[in-house]
């Protein structure tokens, strides 16, 4: 399938194989087509040509496919209605009835216990994210689509949300989680797809991706950068070059880095600062999407 916006090809023949019962990460820089893809999977956007198939069935254009629920960008609700009323309404649109008990249980599960009677207008961004997850779960989907679900949450909230997402997958649901944060994907996903400029740049397990990943990058400041640079020459498993903000950019796995630092000490060069600038997967992500690290 293809989706164009004017002359721009937003998406071109994307295939995602998502293993049931796992959390699948969808990564890509802004404009890569993540959102358009999710909107197509939810039936909000129609492909210009070709078809969208999900859970073995063709998605009828502009119709929400059965068994799929979730949200794209931030979930939105009627601010002048209570959380309970919003969920009642959405349950009605699925031909279900949401009893007060069901809704209470759901709200407790997403961390909104006791807030059912409150108007959504008083909810923070993070609380709306949680309510969005509750609304999606109400549909009892086989495929759950979550777009940046940890957005707007505090660190504790993020941890809870990630734990919940893992738990949902353990219950047998399949989760497609879109994110621009590699760290988030590393924590919850088994498989990952990286989109770049409308097509798939990588598709596979995180482990396979790690194998292909370059070494993590570090920013190193020493008493004598020239000597440190010279010390790296000829060493295996380490790449050193001048960093654009001064000091040295060092790419190496942890063991190789340790050896290098000991060698520096032996050569009389002292280390003044060492910071990891990106993990290996972020390095790969940036490489795969053609963005400069």
Binding site for other proteins (CB under 8 A): 5, 36, 39, 42-46, 62-64, 66, 68-73, 75-81, 85, 89-90, 92-95, 135, 139
Query: How far apart are alpha carbons 224 and 207 in whole angstroms?
Result: 37
Shortest Å distance, C-beta 63 to other proteins: 6
Q: Taking the complex as a whole, how short is the minimal distance between the CB of residue 70 and other proteins, in angstroms?
A: 7
Give 124-137 as a DSSP string: -HHHHHHHHHHHHH
Residue 286 CB: number of other CB atoms within 10 A?
Answer: 17
CA distance linking residue 254 with residue 252, whole number of Å: 6
Shortest spacing between CB 93 and other proteins, in angstroms? 4
Q: Which residues does residue 54 pair with via DSSP β-bridges, in sequence order?
A: 57
* Minimum separation from the CB atom of position 210 to other proteins (A): 34
To other proteins, the closest distance from the beta carbon of 42 in angstroms equals: 5
- Residue 139: partners with Cβ closer than 8 Å, 6 or more residues away: 69, 90, 94
CB 241 within 8 A of CB 251: no
Which of residues 90 and 177 has its CB atom nearest to other proteins in the complex? 90
- Going by C-beta distance under 8 Å and a sequence separation of 6 or more, which residues neighbour residue 135? 69, 71, 75, 77, 86, 87, 90
Measured distance CA(71)–CA(38) in Å, rounded: 8
Residue closer to other proteins (CB basis): 76 or 212: 76
Query: Do 80 and 121 form a contact (C-beta atoms < 8 A)?
Result: yes
CB of 53 to other proteins, least distance (A): 18
Nearer to other proteins by Cβ, of 74 and 277: the residue is 74
Closer residue to other proteins (CB): 123 or 285: 123
Indicate the residue among 42 and 238 with the shorter CB distance to other proteins: 42
Shorter beta-carbon distance to other proteins: residue 43 or 152: 43
């Amino acid at each position: 399938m293809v989706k164009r916006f004017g002359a721009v090809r937003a998406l071109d023949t994307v295939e995602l194989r998502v293993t049931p019962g796992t959390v699948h990460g969808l990564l890509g820089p802004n404009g890569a087509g993540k959102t358009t893809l999710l909107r197509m999977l939810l039936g909000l956007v129609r492909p210009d040509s070709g078809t969208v198939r999900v859970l073995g069935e063709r998605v009828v254009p502009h119709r929400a496919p059965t068994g799929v629920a979730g949200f794209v960008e931030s979930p939105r609700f009627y601010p002048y209605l209570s959380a309970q009323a919003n969920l009642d309404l959405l349950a009605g649109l699925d031909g279900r009835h949401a009893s007060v008990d069901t809704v209470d249980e759901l709200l407790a599960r997403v961390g909104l216990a006791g807030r059912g009677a409150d108007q959504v207008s008083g909810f923070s961004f993070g609380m709306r994210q949680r309510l969005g997850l509750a609304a999606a779960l109400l549909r009892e989907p086989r495929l759950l689509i979550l777009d940046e679900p940890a957005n707007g949450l505090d660190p504790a909230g993020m941890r809870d949300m990630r734990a919940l997402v893992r738990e949902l997958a353990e219950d047998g649901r399949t989760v497609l989680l879109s994110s621009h944060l590699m760290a988030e994907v590393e924590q919850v996903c088994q498989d990952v797809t990286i989109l770049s400029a409308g097509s798939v740049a990588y598709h596979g397990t995180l482990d396979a991706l790690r194998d292909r990943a370059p070494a993590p990058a570090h920013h190193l400041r020493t008493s004598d950068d020239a000597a440190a640079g010279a010390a790296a020459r000829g060493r295996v498993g380490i790449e050193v070059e001048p960093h654009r903000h001064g000091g040295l950019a060092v790419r190496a796995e942890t063991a190789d880095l340790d050896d290098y630092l000991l060698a520096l000490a032996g050569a009389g060069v002292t280390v003044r600062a060492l910071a990891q600038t990106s993990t290996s997967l972020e390095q790969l992500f940036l490489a795969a999407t053609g963005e400069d690290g």
